[in-house]
Amino acid sequence: MVNSRLCTKEELDAMCIPPSKQFSTVLESKDIEAAKKIYGELEDAFFGLHIMYQNWVAFLQEFIYSNYGHEGLTAAVPIAEVIMQAIKFGMTIEEADKCSRSAKEEMSALIDAGKTKEAKKLFKFLEKGWRDYHDIYNSWTTLLLSRIYRDLGGLEALEKAHRYAGGLHWMPWMEQDIQCDPKFRIQYWSMLMHGNLCEFTIEEDDEKFIMKLHVCGSCGRQIIDGYYKEPINFAKVKEKGPETWYRDDCTVYQTHLTIIHSMMSIEKIGAPWPVITCNNGKGPEPCQILLYKNPKTAAAKYYEMVGKQKPK
């Protein structure tokens, strides 16, 4: 068999280096342009996730208004809980202001001036704020999904909400993503996972890249941090079916993996994209993202997990 590996182990390991270490290493190399470049890429990765969540929140609110009117949307807006999240993280006015907009010019000025210590301090401050914003947006999204499931129509309404947002936002992007060169794709996804605050490792075999999320930055951390218990108490979906991987403890957030990334993707492009397995915050095995070099070669079991059959 011809070896079809696209990356060396060194290349894969480099993609997994945490953002602060990536920036610090390049900064200390005294390569000014490289330091500014990596900072820009990392900032873009974090803001990319923020923008994704902003779109998701907007689409969910559109869905609620379109189907349940002004009264339904008013009841579903979780502003008190969102404010509670900001208080929980101890966000200051400075952090909320500064970390909501680009700091590329300020960081470039520090790098150009050789102020390595100040640049590291600024990055540490920004990274903390970006993380807080990520978690607030993540919670805001999950609160809306919980309201839809609990108060506006159960699993049927939840699936409709995912299909509405997925059709407008995810599917156009996913159709483009599967056309990309596989090596570019794994580089892109590694930055995406840094923006999602994941700790991960990457392996490669002849047919796919395997991203092992040792701490998932979204639903995994939600579970570990107790967000599905009082007082926050996000919803869990009790119905066993393709929308829940046939489990009775699937979180409301995880259902976007089954519905958008699996069911809708199979219906639209003929394959789950990407294949995502979730340990539900339990057990020794990490969650995984499987990026097949040819998406349509995904194993049949990943179709069956959401009640589909792989086309022959």
pLDDT at position 166: 96
Task: Report d(CA 146, CA 77) in Å as an integer.
Answer: 11
Q: Are 258 and 242 contacting, i.e. CB atoms less than 8 angstroms apart?
A: yes
Q: Give the pair of three-digit tokens for residue 134.
A: 């990520």
Q: Are 263 and 241 contacting, i.e. CB atoms less than 8 angstroms apart?
A: no
The single residue listed with the structure tokens 């807080």 is 132
- What pairs with residue 103 in β-bridges? none
Report the mean per-residue pLDDT for the chain.
Answer: 93
Single pTM value for the model? 0.94
In 226-286, the DSSP E strands lie at: 236-237, 250-251, 275-277
pLDDT at position 1: 41
Task: Report d(CA 265, CA 261) in Å as an integer.
Answer: 5
In terms of DSSP bridges, do strands 236-237 and 250-251 run parallel, antiparallel, or are they unpaired? antiparallel
Question: What are the sequence ranges of the domains in the chain?
Answer: 9-304
Note the pLDDT tens digit of each residue in 12-59: 999 999 999 999 999 999 999 999 999 999 999 999 999 999 999 999
In 3D space, the residue among 168, 188, 161, 133 whose CA is nearest the CA of residue 253 turns out to be 161
- What pairs with residue 276 in β-bridges? 289
Q: Are 127 and 24 contacting, i.e. CB atoms less than 8 angstroms apart?
A: no
Q: Give every CB contact of residue 268 below 8 A, 6+ residues apart in sequence.
A: 171, 174, 175
pLDDT at position 281: 65
Check whether 2 has a pLDDT greater than 60: no
Task: Report d(CA 271, CA 129) in Å as an integer.
Answer: 36
